[in-house]
Amino acid sequence: MELRKEARDLLFCMLRKGDWITGEELSRMLDWNKKKVQQNIKWLMEDIGQEGNIETQKNKGYRVCRISECLRNEILKDAFYNEVYFNLDERRIILIMDLLFRRQYIPMDQLAEDYYLSKSVVFEEIRQMRRWFGRNDDIQLEVSPQRGIYIHGEEKDKRYACTAWGPLHVLQMTKIDPDAVQHYQESMEQAAEPLQQLLIDTGRFISGEEYSFLLRYIAMSRLRSSLGYYLPEMGEKPFEYSAFYETLSRKLGYTFSASEQTEINKFIRKATILAPKSHPDAKQENLHALENYFNQKLKLSQPLHFEDPELVAENLNALLERPYHRVNYYDKSILIKYPLAIHLVKQAFQDVFAKKLPRTEILNMAAFLGSYLDTIHYPSSVRILLVGNQSFYLMENLRNYICQMLSFAPERVDYLPGYAWNSSLLRDIDYYTIFLTTEPEIALKNSRFRLIPIIMTNENREMLKSILEDCRKTNRIQRMARMERITQYKTLSHLEKIEMLLPEEDPAKITTYALNRNTLCVICTTPTVQTGMEIITLDTPFPYDFREISTIKILKFRDDQPGIIEFFHAAADILQK
């Protein structure tokens, strides 16, 4: 049964939930607006026909209450072949796949006619393609008014691009020989068991995404060779994994050349690993250099040291040697949530290793660093007032619990007896950020105070956790308000180059990236900038990475001062807002 891509994604989310799921949940999971969810639910119900039944209720949302085994198996197979959360533009990818399988130029009119598109649509898709290819030095897109369109590059780079960008359902919609595409699908199925066995036998537990990539690359090697696209020949076949290739050849009925084996081996060796079984003694010099750089910039009370250093070191070493770019399916969330981590990763690899990482590698590493920073107790400006009538030991015990449960280290925690909280013994009450008390009458007299338990039983611990979560939300709102108060708003008629925004700073110390089609984020952390946020509106859009930028958000932090993590948490809240 053929389902459109949106229907597959939607049905996959509903099956995964297994119960009622609201339109808001689907909207968040798929990054769709409410109207798109409703429209695609309607199409999905029409498409599945007698193969299933979707129930809807106003207050509950949607639920798959019946689905045939045939359709369920189709969805599972589709998830295997196509990676359900494939967020690259489908029409653009189809056109790119078509061009990657062509031996000569094709006029734009012909490409439009082949795929029943208008010339203006194809022109816009080509414009967007240029942005993608502009990030990759290995293959180039040529658009010639006289000759037409063609993708230049070595065969090994074209194979990588086809594998990274072209899941099965995309190949099926191109003009490639359908029998060859069918062989591609069969090759993936046949290669799965030998590849799994190789990874298990060698102890290389790699990420699932890269396992899927390897399967696709093996199948793509056979597909392109069968169509006459060959890798340049080299000497003898590598001895490494020879038994694997013998098994693979028997299963696929195809013998991989020495060049193909070398390329596949390269991807296996440089894949990210999830357990250091094969390299328990990974060299950690690079990791220590990276940790030292982050500690120097972050000024944490306790030095940052990553857990599982052997595993982190092995993946870092592979990243530094990795000879290929990857595709990131999660970049939108990372760009908004982790601006500080993105900046630190870019600057660290530039300063420590003299290496410019591709965008995807920066974002993957930034997500890792950012989530790690989310778990540590970073210094903050939060001040807590704790009022209670208990002895010093019980109050100190409470203070310790509170500090452990917060995701940040409070600047200070003061406690006072109940009789003194509203007396001259208390400094200005507005000095404090969070107010906690063990005394019911205090909570009744002043609504700022949250009533907390005295002794931490399991039940009380959950209660305190919930109260502190509310406090965190309140602190987040206050933090955003402080950030908004120091935000400066400007309007510029035009911008010639980004360096003009921070003319006193070294351009190499500035990180820039597009948050969306028309918004640019600029980050600078040096001892000379003035901490704050600027939002600039441009009357004339500024061209950046094939986008038209009309809004620029500049995040500046003077890095010889404490508080960098708290500042960027507030900045991320503003970006998400």
- Give the pLDDT band of residue 85 (cuts 50, 70, 90): very low
Length of the chain: 577
Tracing tokens 């939060």 back to the chain, one arrives at 382
Please tell me the distance from the alpha carbon of residue 380 to that of residue 372, in angstroms, as a whole number.
Answer: 17
Q: What is the pLDDT of residue 259?
A: 93
pLDDT top residue among 184 and 283: 184
- Write down the CATH number for the domain with range 486-568: 3.40.930.10
Other CB atoms within 10 Å distance of the CB of residue 218: 25
Q: What is the pLDDT of residues 125-158, one digit of tens each?
A: 898 888 778 767 788 999 998 999 999 999 999 9
pLDDT at 364: 87
Q: Identify the pLDDT of residue 284.
A: 87
- The more confidently predicted of residues 402 and 327 is 402
**CA 514, 518, 523 angle in degrees (round to 5)?**
35
Q: 532 in the Ramachandran plot: left (φ > 0), alpha (ψ -120 to 50) or beta?
A: left
In sequence order, which ranges of 308-391 are alpha helices (DSSP H)? 309-321, 331-337, 339-351, 359-375
**Measured distance CA(440)–CA(530) in Å, rounded:** 45
User: Looking at residues 338-366, what average pLDDT do you find?
Assistant: 92
CATH fold match for the domains 5-82 and 90-172: yes
State residue 7's pLDDT score: 78
117: three-class secondary structure by DSSP: coil
CATH of domain 90-172: 1.10.10.10
- Percent pLDDT > 90 in the chain is 32
523 within 8 A of 343, measured Cβ to Cβ? yes
Q: What is the CA radius of gyration of the chain?
A: 28
| CA 244 – CA 201 distance, rounded (Å) | 10
Q: Residue 363 CA to chain centroid, in angstroms?
A: 6
Q: Which of 181-195, 209-223, 240-254, 557-571 has the lowest mean pLDDT?
A: 557-571
pLDDT at 377: 66
Give the pLDDT confidence of 245-276 residue by residue, as tens digits: 999 999 999 999 999 999 999 888 888 777 65
Give me the mean pLDDT over the 463-485 stretch.
Answer: 78
Strand 487-492 relative to strand 519-526, pairing: unpaired
- What's the pLDDT at 495? 92
Residue 60 in this model has a pLDDT that exceeds 50: yes
The amino acid at residue 213 is F
Report which of 267, 256, 252, 253 is spatially closest to residue 189, judged by C-alpha positions.
Answer: 252
Residue 275's pLDDT is 63
| Least confident span in 276-290, 308-322, 450-464 | 276-290
Task: Share the mean pLDDT of the chain.
Answer: 85
**Pairing of β 519-526 and β 547-558:** parallel
The pLDDT of residue 81 = 56
When pLDDT is cut at 50, 70 and 90, the band that residue 79 belongs to is low
Neighbours of 186 (CB within 10 A): 15
For the domain made up of 379-483, give the CATH fold: Rossmann fold (3.40.50)
Q: Which residue has the higher pLDDT, 333 or 144?
A: 144
Domain residue limits, the chain: 5-82, 90-172, 178-275, 285-376, 379-483, 486-568
CATH of domain 5-82: 1.10.10.10
Residue 373: per-residue pLDDT: 85
Q: Cα–Cα distance between 344 and 368 in angstroms, integer? A: 12
User: What is the average pLDDT across 538-567?
Assistant: 89
Q: E-assigned strands of 8-99?
A: 52-57, 61-67
Give the model's pLDDT for residue 410: 80
The pLDDT, as a whole number, for residue 280 is: 52
Chain-centre distance for alpha carbon 524: 22
Q: What is the mean pLDDT of residues 275-299?
A: 79
CA 440 – CA 432 distance, rounded (Å): 20
- Give pLDDT, residue 248: 94
CA 387/CA 446 separation, integer angstroms: 12
The pLDDT of residue 476 is: 73
**CA–CA dist 285, 276 (Å, integer):** 17
What integer pLDDT is reported at residue 70 of this predicted model?
79
**Mean pLDDT across 206-224:** 90
